[in-house]
Amino acid sequence: MNIDPRPSVIEERLKGVKRIIAVTGWKGGIGKSVTACSLALLLAKKGCRTGLFDLDFAGASDHIILGAKGLFPKEEKGLEPPLLEGVKFMSVVFFSENKAVPLRGANVSDAIIELLAITQWGELDFLVLDMPPGINDAALDVMRFARKAEVLAVTTSSVIARDVLERSLALYRALKTPVLGVVENMARGAASKGDAARLRFDPGLEAALGSPAALLKTGFCRDLSAAVKKLKL
């Protein structure tokens, strides 16, 4: 019987990480990735040792949001993520040359487990995970191996998005996964009951993508910064 050594390796890799924030969302276009990237930048700006891991194989975009060009992990008993604006950054695009990754089902999970096993994070205060969308095998595998993870859920005011959100949060709670809070992105009008934070619609956000410095100056990041304080990160 073959025993996969990677689970124990992953545990060792994440041993020096104090907190893991899994930023997740359950439909496309709600701002999950820009929230994950902005959160990592804000934490690094506060002086926290921060890492960002783009695990959204189907639509990896953190490198675009952060303007990451010419970066590649250093090989040293695994892979050491390159530093970008004070954030240790790892993404599948380092290996896919920014092309779509034609993986399905178990292959996606296996690739994510492999990346978790070979990435050397060292000592971190926060590791932000840009999660695979939805609750599928890949997402559940991440939560299984990143046992310290706390879920930060991104949604919108859409009735559909919020309905899916509630069902998904119920599943995470059933799995005994801590839910840090909920972020309502592109918020307009009155606040929805129970939201941890509201990120108001920012018409200038799109123009800031690709520049961490510009991103940190947006109204979006100001609102997220307030959320960070509210969530006691």
Q: In the prediction, which pLDDT does 103 show?
A: 52
Could you list the mean pLDDT of each consecutive 10-residue stretch along the chain, which spans 233 residues?
A: 82 96 85 97 98 89 94 90 97 74 65 92 97 82 90 88 84 89 83 69 95 97 92 82
Residue 90 tokens, joined: 């790892």
Q: In the prediction, which pLDDT does 207 show?
A: 97
Q: Where are the beta strands (DSSP E) in 46-187?
A: 50-54, 74-75, 79-80, 83-84, 87-91, 124-130, 149-155, 179-187
Phi, psi of 189, deg, nearest 5: 70, -155
Q: In the prediction, which pLDDT does 85 show?
A: 96
Distance CA 208, CA 65 (A): 8
Residue 5 tokens, joined: 């050594």
Distance CA 197, CA 151 (A): 14
Beta bridge partners of 231: none
Element (H, E) at 134: none
Distance CA 29, CA 23 (A): 14
Please name the amino acid found at residue 204: G
Q: In the prediction, which pLDDT does 171 show?
A: 86
Residues 46, 49, 55, 56: what is their CA dihedral angle, to the nearest 10 degrees?
Answer: 10
Domains of the chain, each with CATH number or no CATH: 6-230 (3.40.50.300)
Q: In the prediction, which pLDDT does 5 show?
A: 86
Residue 151 tokens, joined: 């879920």
Residue 217 tokens, joined: 């100056």
